[in-house]
Amino acid sequence: MQQASSLAQVAPLSQSSAPRRWSVDDVLAIYDMPFMDLIWRAQGVHRENFDPNAVQRSALLSVKTGGCSEDCSYCSQSARYDTDTERERLMPLNEVVAAAQAAKDKGASRFCMGAAWKGPKDNDLDRVLDMVREVKALGMQTCVTLGMLKEGQAEKLKDAGLDYYNHNLDTDKEFYGQVIKTHTHDDRLDTLEQVREAGINVCSGGIIGMGESRKNRAGLIVQLANLPKPPESVPINNLVPIPGTPMADNERIDPFEFVRTIAAARITMPTSWVRLSAGRQEMTDELQALCFLAGANSMFYGERLLTTGNPDVARDEALFARLGLKAV
């Protein structure tokens, strides 16, 4: 009876209820649940809101790589660090459209385009708007991640047909200054507010394994879940340590802790797509299956993310077949 009571304390409100305001203690209680109870609860929430055997697949293309002025400690694209990532110009439109078509042919339903900027200049944004229009014309959902937006830029993206804007919070406000110093946590929230006000779906999550505590991870989940409207898409990244960055020697996080984070995101954001993002190449098929069981129902699909590897298409197709999953 005592265990049943603890389960009830972390059960999410039904969709018909007013949105719940989560506290860090609430989410820490979710993390602290016995693992089997946690998976059971997360899978129950997942089944109330989604087909448990369907996974949305997105492709990600770096349309402008390297040379970023920001100091994000995990990122190979920062101009402040000596990494193997070369600085490149914004890709030509025809190459972006060809990559999007290839991704669609391989089964991706959403095409995400990333540019290594602190924020886009207006003339660069105009070229990205053309990319959004052309990819949208292929019948795919569109997503971009361009850094922090200035006033009016979100509206231009909306008019071009953008479906999602990605801008991760990365970590909670308390730990943020240990990861990034060239801008603030509030700067990120300001861009998310502009995106939401423009009527674009929000894609925002974080990175696990940067040296943060479990309390920091719970704080990140709380900040996302307690936004005026939770993100429609929540990418959960498992840090890929990049040689040359300050986090090059970070130890890999315990896999079960990563699964607990997926489950916490699912329980607190029942109707959001929870996405396996960076770090999936290092995951075993068994770990990915646990993540799907814990409520992950979206993934990046293809051989490469922005600058890091990703499981190849053949491996993913084999995994889907073994688990009886279908792509949406």
| Domain definitions of the chain by residue range | 23-29+49-327
Q: Mention every residue, 6+ apart, whose C-beta is less than 8 A from residue 44.
A: none
The pTM (predicted TM-score) of the whole model is 0.87
Radius of gyration over every alpha carbon of the chain, rounded to an integer in angstroms: 19
Class for the domain spanning 23-29+49-327: alpha beta
Would you state the pLDDT for residue 67? Answer: 66
Which helix (H) or strand (E) segment holds residue 225: the answer is: helix 214-225
Q: Is 291 annotated as a binding residue?
A: no
Q: Is 275 annotated as a binding residue?
A: yes
Residues taking part in catalysis? 68, 72, 75, 112, 143, 203, 275
Q: In 3-state terms, what secondary structure has residue 315? A: helix
Share of residues in the chain with pLDDT > 70 (%): 88
Residue 128 identity (one-letter amino acid):
V
Instruction: Determine the Cα angle at 260 with ends 1 and 193, to 5°.
Output: 115
Q: Is 143 annotated as a binding residue?
A: yes
Inform me whether the pLDDT recorded for 38 exceeds 50.
yes
pLDDT averaged over every residue in the chain: 87
